[in-house]
């Protein structure tokens, strides 16, 4: 979840880090007013969660409030990286003497830092121009990043000796901020040295961890910024699943709509991937991908079924679990029946194939047998058999309709 | 011998009084796992399915000699639970919480690894040494049916697929020496290649099966270990998620770790790289037994 620039910078500024003064504006008049109160030259930037805004023409330098107003008029309403710009960020322009690069992220096991004496351009461009100028290191999460460790890195990066103490101290503070924000990524590019020898956090990109929002009340109501395939906005059914996932306790549900006609209710991450592959190989076209982790109530699985039944393109449903280990089977059938009833689905006309084995399987079979049309496969049927069954059933429905 | 757990394993359950723990403890006891203690701070003195509950891991270890822990503590508290277990001297951990905050996961895994503690998870359903011990919900109520004892080491990024693979082995007359579900979160306690090195050193394991997914570099590290000769036993690899290549990079369809970010991240790239390194790549579950028997 990428934080917009004003939120990231407000947060860093509140921790005492040297961030240029600035505020967000929704109108050109507001932008002009902010420029007036800041005084001097300002940068007017499209407030979208995307990098490389400069290249996209979405960053302007304005000499006074009138120029800031004009810049905002030009930027608000344009599209940057597929997003419509509704706000600009207006901040004091920094008189830059040199630019460096700094970022924090995660490796396989531990956080990592990347620094370079070249900044102000993409890390990819630095890598192309001068790969030896990119210094990477792991950070021990139990010790954090000390000033002297940061100094070693900047020394290796080849910045001027006289800058090392201040840059290293700032780097260690930025790591602390990265950790305190529960950020997955924090990029400072450029980390600027101003003409009056001060350091300034000019460019920032910060991605925070959705799973740590419980520690960050300030970011909890940012809305749903998830995107579907290709960066498209979530549709109503996808949003309803996200909302249900937040509303109800236990497990986790995910739902991404695709353009096929076989709804796929799968679980267990990896088994779901395999079933999706198998469905395509069998000539089926998935209406969605989904995932459900173990849960002890029907709320979340029923919400997931609701989305699938509400999808106008879906003509059939595969409830294709791997061998269930952490949850009772009858709970899933209970959720299925709740959703069938409240969506007015007739399994005799909307084929539903169930491959569901594990704890309380007998009870699950008894429940399912009360709803005519549900095809509960015999114990031991393979994932591939389940896929073939639903593909054949949906083909029959499609032919009947056509 | 099996790896990590066996008949000598004395299991502690952290977060024993929660619903999922109760559900799994019953089936673990039925399976024959020796569960010696539960821990839930503030609930010491209670019991779950006949297992005594202590307030702290240290007290439970002192009283019972527990040496492995099944950790049911939810995501927001699990970092501390892992630190507590490691400090109390537990040697093997299975951590079930999923979507653990990344910084917490890094801290927990770092403390475990620094102490030489072997940890499955986050987002694992546990590990099983068939006929000897199961740590966690793995196998549910039919662990004996799904996970037959045998001489194949199984390491899976998916708990569900560990069951499907082992069930396929059982039906083909094969079985597992140990099966490890590594966990589906981005940061897990053991790398897949590390698990395979343990199988390599295990005299009761003849060959390995791995289940991989798009995203991350576990499978690539296995290929490197194969090329380096560190793993000489046959490795059969089943890699799912090829369908993701029909969609733009950066879209997550299952485990958060299963997101394609780079060139070597896709299912087909991993199959290609593993195959070039000498692994036997299976196109389906059904092919696995035949590839193992190829000798």
Query: Across the interface, do B255 and A270 touch by the CB < 8 Å criterion?
Result: yes
Q: What percent of chain B has pLDDT over 90?
A: 89
CATH number, domain containing residue B112: 3.40.50.261
Measure CB to CB from residue B103 to each of A141, A272, A383 and give the nearest one: A141
Query: Per the domain annotation, does B1 fall within a domain?
Result: no
Q: In the predicted model, is pLDDT for residue A53 greater than 90?
A: no
d(CA B133, CA B145): 14
Q: Can you give the pLDDT at residue A130?
A: 86
- The full DSSP string for A348-362 is TTS-EEEE--STTHH
Task: Indicate the pLDDT class of residue B265, thresholds 50, 70 and 90.
Answer: confident
Query: Across the interface, do A384 and B109 touch by the CB < 8 Å criterion?
Result: no
Residue A249 near chain B (CB below 8 Å): no
Q: B50 exposed, middle or buried (CB, 10 Å; 0-12, 13-18, 19+)?
A: exposed
Q: Can you give the pLDDT at residue B256?
A: 63
Q: Can you give the pLDDT at residue A136?
A: 94
Q: In the predicted model, is pLDDT for residue A224 greater than 50?
A: no
- A59 to chain B, minimum CA–CA distance in Å? 26
Give A229 or A207, the one with higher predicted confidence: A207
- A397 to chain B, minimum CA–CA distance in Å? 24
Between strands B149-156 and A88-92, the pairing is: unpaired
**What stretch(es) of chain A map to CATH 3.30.1490.20?**
21-92
Residue A111 near chain B (CB below 8 Å): yes
Which overall architecture, per CATH, does domain A96-219 show?
A: 2-Layer Sandwich (3.30)
Backbone φ, ψ for residue B277 (5° rounding): -85, 0
Q: Can you give the pLDDT at residue A325?
A: 81
User: Strand, helix or coil at A381?
Assistant: coil
- Mean pLDDT for B84-99 is 97
Lowest mean pLDDT of A47-51, A69-73, A97-101, name the range. Answer: A47-51
Residue B29 CA: distances (Å) to CA of B37, B85, B135, B137: 12, 21, 10, 11
Query: Per the domain annotation, does B2 fall within a domain?
Result: no
**The pair of three-digit structure tokens given for residue A207, joined into one six-digit string:** 């991605």
Q: What CATH superfamily classification does A21-92 receive? A: ATP-grasp fold, A domain (3.30.1490.20)
Query: Per the domain annotation, does B73 fall within a domain?
Result: yes
Residue A143 near chain B (CB below 8 Å): no
Residue A121 near chain B (CB below 8 Å): no
Give helix A164-180 / helix A5-14 axis angle, nearest 10°.
110
Query: Per the domain annotation, does B4 fall within a domain?
Result: no
Catalytic residue set of B: 255
For residue B50, the enclosing domain spans 11-293
- Reported as a single tens digit per residue, the pLDDT across A252-286 is 899 999 999 999 998 767 889 999 999 999 999 99
Q: What percent of chain B has pLDDT over 70?
A: 95
ipTM attached to this prediction: 0.92
Q: Can you give the pLDDT at residue A293?
A: 83
Measure CB to CB from residue A358 to each of B113, B141, B242 and give the nearest one: B141
Q: In the predicted model, is pLDDT for residue A295 greater than 90?
A: no
Q: In the predicted model, is pLDDT for residue B1 greater than 60?
A: no
**What stretch(es) of chain A map to CATH 3.30.470.20?**
96-219
Task: Indicate the pLDDT class of residue A400, thresholds 50, 70 and 90.
Answer: confident
Query: Across the interface, do A322 and B76 touch by the CB < 8 Å criterion?
Result: no
- Reported as a single tens digit per residue, the pLDDT across B107-153 is 999 999 999 999 999 999 999 999 999 999 999 999 999 999 999 99
Query: Per the domain annotation, does B6 fall within a domain?
Result: no
- The full DSSP string for A27-71 is SHHHHHHHHHHH-S-EEEEE-SS-S-TTTTT-EEEESSHHHHHHH
Measure CB to CB from residue B138 to each of A211, A214, A325 and give the nearest one: A325
Q: How many domains does chain B have?
A: 1
- B243 to chain A, minimum CA–CA distance in Å? 6
Q: Which helix (H) or strand (E) holds A393?
A: helix A383-401
Q: Can you give the pLDDT at residue A157?
A: 95
Q: Can you give the pLDDT at residue B280?
A: 98
Q: Which CATH class is domain A229-401?
A: alpha beta
- Reported as a single tens digit per residue, the pLDDT across A174-205 is 999 999 999 999 999 999 999 999 999 999 99
Q: Are A322 and B160 in contact (CB under 8 A)?
A: yes
Query: Across the interface, do B109 and A109 touch by the CB < 8 Å criterion?
Result: yes
d(CA A271, CA B241): 9
Q: List, as ranges, residues 153-182 from A with C-beta within 8 Å of B.
A: 179, 182
- A254 to chain B, minimum CA–CA distance in Å? 8
Q: In the predicted model, is pLDDT for residue A297 greater than 50?
A: yes
Size of chain A in residues? 402
- Reported as a single tens digit per residue, the pLDDT across A89-111 is 999 999 999 999 999 999 999 99
Query: Across the interface, do A323 and B98 touch by the CB < 8 Å criterion?
Result: no
Q: Can you give the pLDDT at residue A251?
A: 81
Alpha helices in chain B (DSSP H): 19-31, 57-64, 78-87, 102-114, 143-146, 159-171, 192-201, 218-227, 267-276, 288-293
- Reported as a single tens digit per residue, the pLDDT across A361-390 is 999 999 999 999 999 999 999 999 999 999
Q: List, as ranges, residues 277-296 from A with C-beta within 8 Å of B.
A: 277-278, 280, 286, 289, 291, 293-294, 296
Backbone φ, ψ for residue A25 (5° rounding): -135, 140
Q: List, as ranges, residues 55-94 from A with C-beta within 8 Å of B.
A: none
């Amino acid at each position: 979840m990428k934080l917009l620039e004003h939120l990231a910078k407000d947060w860093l500024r509140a921790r005492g880090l040297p961030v240029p003064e600035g505020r967000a504006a929704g109108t050109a008049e507001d932008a002009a007013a902010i420029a007036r109160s800041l005084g001097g030259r300002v940068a007017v930037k499209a407030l979208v969660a995307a990098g490389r805004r400069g290249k996209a023409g979405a960053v302007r330098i304005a000499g006074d409030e009138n120029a800031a107003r004009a810049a905002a008029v030009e930027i608000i309403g344009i599209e940057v990286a597929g997003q419509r710009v509704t706000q600009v960020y207006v901040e004091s322009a920094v008189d830059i003497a040199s630019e460096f690069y700094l970022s924090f992220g995660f490796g396989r096991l531990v956080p990592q830092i990347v620094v370079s004496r070249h900044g102000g351009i993409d890390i990819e461009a630095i890598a192309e121009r001068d790969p030896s100028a990119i210094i990477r290191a792991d950070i021990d999460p139990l010790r954090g990043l000390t000033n002297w460790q940061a100094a070693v890195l900047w020394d290796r990066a080849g910045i001027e000796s006289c800058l090392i103490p201040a840059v290293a101290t700032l780097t260690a503070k930025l790591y602390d901020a990265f950790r305190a924000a529960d950020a997955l990524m924090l990029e400072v590019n450029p980390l600027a040295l101003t003409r009056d020898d001060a350091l300034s956090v000019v460019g920032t990109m910060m991605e925070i961890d959705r799973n740590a929002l419980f520690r960050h009340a300030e970011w909890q109501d940012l809305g749903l910024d998830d995107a579907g395939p290709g960066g498209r906005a979530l549709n109503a059914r996808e949003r309803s699943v996200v909302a249900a996932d937040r509303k109800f306790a236990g497990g986790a549900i995910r739902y991404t709509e695709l353009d096929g006609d076989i709804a796929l209710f799968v679980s267990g991450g990896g088994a779901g991937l395999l079933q999706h592959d198998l469905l395509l190989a069998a000539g089926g076209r998935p209406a969605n991908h989904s995932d459900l982790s173990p849960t002890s109530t029907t709320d979340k699985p029923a919400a997931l079924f609701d989305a699938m039944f509400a999808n106008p393109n879906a003509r059939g449903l595969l409830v294709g679990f791997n061998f269930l280990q952490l949850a009772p089977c009858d709970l899933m059938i209970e959720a299925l029946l709740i959703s069938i009833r409240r969506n007015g689905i007739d399994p005799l006309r909307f084929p539903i194939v169930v491959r569901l084995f594990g704890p309380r399987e007998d009870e699950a079979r008894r429940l399912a047998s009360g709803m005519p049309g549900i095809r509960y496969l015999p114990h031991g049927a393979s994932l591939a058999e389940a896929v073939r069954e639903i593909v054949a059933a949906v083909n029959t429905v499609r032919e009947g309709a056509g | 011998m099996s790896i990590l757990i066996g008949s000598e394993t004395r299991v502690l359950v952290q977060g024993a009084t929660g619903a999922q723990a109760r559900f799994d403890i019953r089936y673990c006891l039925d399976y024959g796992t020796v569960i010696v203690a539960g821990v839930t701070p503030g609930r010491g003195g209670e019991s779950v399915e006949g297992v005594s509950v202590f307030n702290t891991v240290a007290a439970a270890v002192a009283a019972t000699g527990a040496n492995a822990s099944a950790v049911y503590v939810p995501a927001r508290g699990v970092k501390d639970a892992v630190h507590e277990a490691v400090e109390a001297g537990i040697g093997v951990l299975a951590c079930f919480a999923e979507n653990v905050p990344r910084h917490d996961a890094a801290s927990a895994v770092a403390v475990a690894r620094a102490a030489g503690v072997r940890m499955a998870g986050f987002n694992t359903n546990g590990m099983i040494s068939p006929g000897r011990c199961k740590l966690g919900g793995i196998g549910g109520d039919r662990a004996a049916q799904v996970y037959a004892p045998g001489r194949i080491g199984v390491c899976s990024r998916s708990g569900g697929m560990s069951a499907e693979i082992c069930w396929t082995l059982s039906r083909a007359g094969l079985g597992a020496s140990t099966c490890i579900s590594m966990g589906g979160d981005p940061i897990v306690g053991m790398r897949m290649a590390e698990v395979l090195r343990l199988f390599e050193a295990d005299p009761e394991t003849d060959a390995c099966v791995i289940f991989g997914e798009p995203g991350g570099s576990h499978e690539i590290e296995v290929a490197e270990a194969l090329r380096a000769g560190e793993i000489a036993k046959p490795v059969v690899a089943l890699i799912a998620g090829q369908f993701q290549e029909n969609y733009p990079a950066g879209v997550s369809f299952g485990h958060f770790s299963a997101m394609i970010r780079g060139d070597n991240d896709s299912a087909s790239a991993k199959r290609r790289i593993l195959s070039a390194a000498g692994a036997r790549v299976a196109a389906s579950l059904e092919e696995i037994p035949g590839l193992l028997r190829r000798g």
